[in-house]
Amino acid sequence: MFDIWPELRKKFGDFYTVGLPNRGAGLHGTMYVLQDPKEMMKVLRSEGKYPTSSVQDLWSFQQMQDDYGFGRPGEILGYGKDWKLIRSFLQSDFLAPQSANRYLPGILKATLHISKGMAGNSDNLDEFLQWASFDMFCSILIGAFPRITDPDTVVDPEDDEFCKKVAEVLKVGSHITLSPYETMLNRIGIKSKTYKMLYQNWTQ
């Protein structure tokens, strides 16, 4: 997965189409890929008041939030006026330059510990990066980090279990979101065994 996008860019350039059934448009799932950052900025600036994004395709996470009765916070995965309200609220505290100045030092401290574990996880990079993001996000959310990725740190068992459960939920949730079979079941109102296991892990 980490090699495929650079390889596609070498072969097809900065703009091409790929077939991703259940994600793209039409029978073949046609999706347009743009990898030139300057051209991408033009797209972002012309998206309009209510831009679309890939989060709208995350039906498994939307379904879990609906089943749990998450209410308005769950609209961050939606589209339109309600989504814009929640997005603007979050953006004001996370993306504003003055806000970034407050939490970036914590992220930088977290990366010092993350770098220690990188070499020992080169063959498990996908999972390691999930742990790394957990450390960095905790530095923003609670002002501290559990150092899950630092091989020299004895990690709190509760932090370790929580991080692994979150990683598993993201992995399984992404898998069933991309599965045509699981998507079909969801559209006709059937909750599969895999979805039920996902929901159980998410709510624990």
Q: Specify the higher pLDDT residue, 10 or 85.
A: 10
Segment 122-159, tens digit of pLDDT: 777 777 887 788 888 877 777 777 777 777 777 778 87
- SS3 of residue 192 by DSSP: coil
CA distance 68 to 63: 8
- Inter-CA distances, 122 with 51, 55, 111, 147, Å: 36, 29, 16, 18
| Token digits of residue 128 | 């390691």
pLDDT value of position 16: 92
* Least confident segment among 159-168, 178-187, 190-199: 159-168
Which pTM was predicted?
Answer: 0.63
CA distance 176 to 56: 15
Place of tokens 């090699």: 3
**Is 139:172 a contact under the CB 8 Å cutoff?**
no
Helix (H) or strand (E) holding 144: none
Model confidence at 84, pLDDT cuts 50, 70, 90, reads confident
**Is 60:77 a contact under the CB 8 Å cutoff?**
no
CA-based torsion, 103, 108, 109, 110: positive or negative = positive
Residue 2 has pLDDT above 90, yes or no: no
Segment 183-192, tens digit of pLDDT: 889 889 999 9
Q: Specify the higher pLDDT residue, 9 or 52.
A: 9
Segment 14-58, tens digit of pLDDT: 999 988 776 777 777 888 898 888 888 888 777 777 777 777 778
CA distance 83 to 152: 42
Contacts 24+ apart (CB under 8 A), 172-178: 172/197, 172/198, 172/201, 173/58, 173/60, 173/61, 173/64, 173/198, 173/202, 174/60, 176/60, 177/57, 177/58, 177/59, 177/60, 177/61, 178/20, 178/22, 178/23
